[in-house]
Amino acid sequence: MKIKIELFGASRDFSDQNLLEFDVDNNSTIKDIRKKMLNYLDINFSGNENFKKIVNSSAFCSENNNFISDNYKITKNEKIAIIPPIGGG
């Protein structure tokens, strides 16, 4: 499956396209997506610690504009948004 992650706020620095796309297994969770994003940052930004903090402290939002937990299961091709904290908090 493919998942698209819309980038908002400080996470927009992760890509010049304002989104990231990953292949994921059926029933992957947001926790798995966080790991994929951290791996992406390790490879593309030499493990930029500030970027990693953004991923670890951000909320995620479903296609229906609902906040979703780390246990949320991805069961189809889906677009999710990452919502970093504003002002560092």
- The conformation of residue 29, written as its DSSP 8-state character, comes to E
pLDDT at 36: 96
What is the rounded average pLDDT of the residues 58-70? 94
To which residue do tokens 């947001």 refer?
Answer: 30
> Is 86 a residue whose pLDDT tops 90?
no
User: Is residue 28 pLDDT above 70, yes or no?
Assistant: yes
Token match 């593309």: residue? 44
Domain edges within the chain: 2-88
54 φ/ψ angles, rounded to the nearest 5 degrees: -60, -50
Q: CATH top-level class for 2-88?
A: alpha beta
